[in-house]
Structure 1
Amino acid sequence: MNIYHDITPINSTLRLIITYRYVAFILAAGVLWIDRYYHYELNLFFVYTMVMILLGSIYKNNAVLLLQSGLVALTRYVLDPSSFDIFLSFWFTFFIFGFTTSLMISNYINQNKSNIELTKTLVKLLDSRDPYTATHSENVANYSKEIAKQMKLSKKKQNTIYMGGLLHDIGKIVIPESIVNKPDKLTEEEFDIIKQHPIIGYNAMKHIQPYQDNGILDMVLYHHERYDGKGYPHGLAGANIPLTARIMTVADAFDAMSSQRVYRNAKDLENIIAEIEKNKGTQFDPIIADHFLTYLHHNKQIILEKIKQSN
């Protein structure tokens, strides 16, 4: 039976705490030593409480928490003997602290898992209509995350950008397949329809709480904006385009150029690099483009293999 919280879907700080859970026991031992020799000079109830909060962030099993809180309360009772009612009161109080913390951690983990499952479901909807779009979204998500990593953004931001990459083309679900998969050049009217997909995707997702206030909606809405202001849907320019969307613009363009489509052949890597260099400061944020080019330079062989497998 697993008595620990699942640390897979949680942020790096909490994962670090749980990974190094032995610190809780070292802290507990330190508290006992201090309480043994300095109890009459210090009120250590706060420290005992912090130990239980830390234990609650580690253990999800209530029986284990009940035992842990009992041991903490028993130690407190042995070092400072009082009535049995006082002992029970401490036991109950410490358990509540640990249980409440554990419950909040469990809810947080379950919410993150639900967000991931929701994202996967939406991506499968894309896959059901156009397998390329789903593959493209996965590639864009990976490239965007690598750019974020190259820029030394936080792991939380990297994961958010990855999620946004998976969802950036979600608005294409309602675009007719005859337009999305047209082998010939799009007419002006058809291109106007395609240009609506960022707004469609944004409107479909803006009321979904997990995608609010973290940059994902920005990626959905603004990934076709250009650094020079000539993009769509709103013609934003420069720093007015959210950072996450500027990152995605580079990743999106790279995967589009490196992918084989019914209406054009994939470009080779050297031509793609030249195209990105050429469009720095116009289509792409030059700093972000340079970060991506650095990533390409250091991982050239891996990327070539990936492109070969995709096509």
Structure 2
Amino acid sequence: MKNKMNKWLENPALFRYGFFILMLLNYFLYFNHFNQNHLYVFYILATIFLGIGFYNKPPLFLILLTTLVVISRYLHAPELTTLVSLLLLEATYLIIMFISVSLMKSNQKIKEDQLELILALSKALDSRDTYTSNHSTNVAKYASEIAKKMKLPQNDIEIIYKGGILHDIGKIGIPENILLKPGSLTNEEYHIIKNHPNIGYEMIRHVSDFNETGVLDIVLYHHERYDGKGYPRGLSGTEIPLVARIMAIADSFDAMTSKRVYRNEIDLENTLIEIKKNKGTQFDPEITEVFLSLFKNDKENLAFINHLKTSEEYEIVKDLNIQVS
């Protein structure tokens, strides 16, 4: 229930529509001789929806709109006959409206603080390895583009973005002599680095929002393979959460197109060939086709890569329409 409420609060447009619908409903019920003593419930609900839906509007705008609600309620309430009762009604509805505004602003502040924490953790990881600097940001953006192409809900796109930023956070717990090793890893070293999804999961599993939204699934399962040969759990097919299957392609794409300590970057054409070759084995075949469809011609390919490689965090957040203020 809490998670559902948070999803509603993340979309103030729903409350704006709800406000106008409730006001129209009030008039419909009034003219259809609905019990006038029960109409107040709908007006209170309309005022709550007003505060949540228009929380970022200037105070004067909110007061004027609330006053219109009060006047409408006053005209439809034969028991309210004095100026004093009108002023009391105005004061009551203003209090309800500003409490709703405060609730919404508080919710947005929590989201903003959480996003800043996520970006700080990402920067802490990137600072350990200049070769993978901005890797998390790039992966988050690529995965978000895939999700947009799949026409996933905006809330899911935001979750995928956050998960992309945090997907490799467990590498903070990997010794630098392994993380930055220029040559091939030994079997023991590879086993250690393969533990980073579990380390990352343990680091953030107590954040209830991450657990409820699927961010933890991304952190834990982004190295699972569609054919079941991945790690850490060896999941296969649709056993792997959708968000993690999306992240797997985005992660591999950025890894191949970025310079690493142990090799140079791979050109775009060969990267796409490699991803297509692994469709149905390493990657979900349907998501692979969606990803490949992002690359229509050489000009768009170059623009796509340059845009995503150079975007700052704020621009990425703004492009995703994440409500952070």
Q: TM-score range by the shorter chain?
A: 0.7 to 0.9
Partner of 2:317 in structure 1? Answer: none
Whether contact under 8 Å (2:132, 2:258) holds in the other structure is: no
Q: Deviations over 1:24-77 (max 9, x none)?
A: 5x986x689879x94976524234324322331214677775665455435544
Partner of 2:240 in structure 1? Answer: 241
SS of 1:212's partner is helix
1:14 is aligned to 2:12: yes
Distance in 2 between the 1:257 and 1:78 partners? 68
Distance in 2 between the 1:158 and 1:83 partners? 52
- Inter-CA distance 144–124: structure 2 relative to 1 (3 Å threshold): same
Where structure 1 has 5 or more consecutive residues not aligned to the other structure, the ranges are 1-9
Matches within 5 A, 1:244-283: 244-283=243-282
Q: Which amino acid aligns with 1:45?
A: Y
Distance in 2 between the 1:249 and 1:32 partners? 50
Partner of 1:48 in structure 2? Answer: 43
Q: Deviations over 1:168-202 (max 9, x none)?
A: 00000121111111110111111111001000000
Whether contact under 8 Å (2:272, 2:292) holds in the other structure is: yes
Decide which moves more: 51-60 or 39-48.
39-48
- Inter-CA distance 278–100: structure 2 relative to 1 (3 Å threshold): same
SS of 2:231's partner is coil
Tell me how far 1:124 sits from its aligned partner: 1.8
Partner of 2:104 in structure 1? Answer: 105
Whether contact under 8 Å (1:160, 1:214) holds in the other structure is: yes
- Corresponding residue to 1:73 among 70, 74, 81: 70
Decide which moves more: 121-130 or 51-60.
51-60
Tell me how far 1:289 sits from its aligned partner: 0.7
Tell me how far 1:135 sits from its aligned partner: 1.1
Q: Deviations over 1:249-308 (max 9, x none)?
A: 111111111111121121111111111111111111111111101112364122454588
- Inter-CA distance 88–261: structure 2 relative to 1 (3 Å threshold): same
Matches within 5 A, 1:1-311: 11=10, 13-15=11-13, 38=31, 43=36, 44-57=39-52, 58-59=54-55, 69=66, 72-74=69-71, 76-77=73-74, 80=78, 82-297=81-296, 299-305=300-306
Decide which moves more: 135-144 or 80-89.
80-89
TM-score by length of 1: 0.82
- Inter-CA distance 38–246: structure 2 relative to 1 (3 Å threshold): closer
Q: How many pairs were matched up?
A: 295
Decide which moves more: 91-100 or 274-283.
91-100
Whether contact under 8 Å (1:133, 1:169) holds in the other structure is: no
Partner of 1:7 in structure 2? Answer: none
Distance in 2 between the 1:34 and 1:285 partners? 51
Q: Deviations over 1:95-153 (max 9, x none)?
A: 33313321221121111111111111111211221234341111110110011111111
- Inter-CA distance 73–288: structure 2 relative to 1 (3 Å threshold): closer
Distance in 2 between the 1:75 and 1:278 partners? 65
Distance in 1 between the 2:97 and 2:309 partners? 52
Tell me how far 1:217 sits from its aligned partner: 0.4
Q: Which amino acid aligns with 1:14?
A: P
Distance in 2 between the 1:64 and 1:286 partners? 51
- Inter-CA distance 207–72: structure 2 relative to 1 (3 Å threshold): same
Distance in 2 between the 1:259 and 1:65 partners? 49
Distance in 1 between the 2:177 and 2:34 partners? 79
Kindly indicate whether structure 1 or structure 2 has the higher relative contact order, using CA contacts under 8 Å at least 6 residues apart.
2
Percent identity at matched positions?
45
Tell me how far 1:161 sits from its aligned partner: 0.2
Where structure 2 has 5 or more consecutive residues not aligned to the other structure, the ranges are 1-8, 312-325
- Inter-CA distance 309–156: structure 2 relative to 1 (3 Å threshold): closer
Whether contact under 8 Å (2:131, 2:261) holds in the other structure is: no
Whether contact under 8 Å (1:165, 1:248) holds in the other structure is: yes
Distance in 2 between the 1:33 and 1:204 partners? 53
Q: Which amino acid aligns with 1:300?
A: N
SS of 1:251's partner is helix
Whether contact under 8 Å (2:138, 2:308) holds in the other structure is: no
SS of 1:283's partner is coil
Whether contact under 8 Å (1:269, 1:304) holds in the other structure is: no
Across the aligned residues of Structure 1 and Structure 2, the Cα RMSD in angstroms comes to 3.1
Whether contact under 8 Å (1:136, 1:255) holds in the other structure is: yes
- Inter-CA distance 265–69: structure 2 relative to 1 (3 Å threshold): closer
Q: Which amino acid aligns with 1:112?
A: K
Q: Which amino acid aligns with 1:144?
A: A
